[in-house]
């Protein structure tokens, strides 16, 4: 039997308990990958992990609030302790609530989404990147949406944040690269790739 593309590869998926994150986890299971599943709710993750364990025991549950950088660092370390490396990061954690700008809680909602959707992505990527650099390889996929390209009614805050999502390390503005604290020239020669994945509801 031919070897699967991701066989033996370690994949960390945030937002893994439902929707695209959960579906992606099962796609990687079919490719015989080793999985680390992250989201806020341990109960939801446990249910997904139980389904996955019908096919493989190579699954780790790491309940994580991605807007808390210290917790992110701790959970990424748990993944490294279990599997020894991280080959793929599928960064899919988002706060999907939307509001009209006229609503009283619009600003508070945008602030919350900024902490999860934008800063959360930076925190997870920043924590994973040093391990991938030491490995000399790695792939980072930042999930986004076509809503980040075009705003729709009720999606103003959501669209703004997804538009701000980084799409490629080498094209990041200096302000963002400082958040990562990465000197890109030091990564020369390493096989590190970043993907910006867009999805559409149509």
Look-up of token digits 């748990």: 78
Residue 164 DSSP code = T
Q: Token digits for 58?
A: 């190579």
What is the rounded radius of gyration, in angstroms, for the C-alpha atoms of the chain? 17
Q: Which two tokens stand for residue 202?
A: 């149509």
Alpha-helical regions (H) of the chain: 19-30, 42-52, 69-83, 106-113, 120-135, 156-163, 174-180
Q: What confidence score (pLDDT) does residue 98 get? A: 66
Residues known to be catalytic: 158
Q: How far apart are CA 200 and CA 144, in angstroms?
A: 9
Superfamily of domain 10-197: NAD(P)-binding Rossmann-like Domain (3.40.50.720)
What letter would DSSP give residue 114?
Answer: I
The whole-angstrom separation of Cα 34 and Cα 56 is 8
pLDDT digit string, tens, across residues 15-34: 999 888 899 999 999 999 99
Higher pLDDT, 171 or 63: 63
Record the pTM: 0.79
Report pLDDT digits (tens) over 99-149.
666 777 778 877 887 888 888 888 998 899 889 888 888 888 877 766 666
């Amino acid at each position: 039997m031919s070897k699967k593309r991701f066989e033996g590869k370690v994949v960390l998926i945030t937002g893994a308990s439902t929707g695209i994150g959960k579906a992606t986890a099962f796609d990687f299971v079919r490719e015989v990958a080793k999985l680390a599943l992250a989201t806020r709710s341990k109960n939801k993750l446990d249910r997904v992990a139980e389904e996955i364990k019908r096919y493989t025991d190579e699954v780790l549950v790491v309940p994580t609030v991605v807007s808390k950088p210290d917790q992110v660092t701790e959970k990424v370390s748990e993944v490294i302790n279990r599997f020894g490396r991280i080959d793929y990061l599928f960064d899919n954690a988002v706060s999907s609530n939307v509001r009209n700008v006229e609503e009283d809680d619009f600003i508070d909602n945008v602030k919350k989404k900024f902490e999860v959707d934008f800063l959360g992505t930076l925190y997870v990527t920043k924590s994973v990147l040093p391990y991938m650099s030491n490995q000399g390889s790695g792939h980072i996929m930042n999930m986004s949406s076509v809503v980040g390209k075009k705003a729709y009614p009720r999606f103003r805050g959501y669209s703004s944040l997804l538009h701000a999502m980084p799409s490629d390390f080498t094209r990041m503005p200096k302000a963002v690269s400082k958040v990562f604290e990465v000197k890109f020239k030091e990564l020369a020669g390493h096989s590190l790739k970043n993907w910006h994945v867009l999805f559409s509801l149509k």
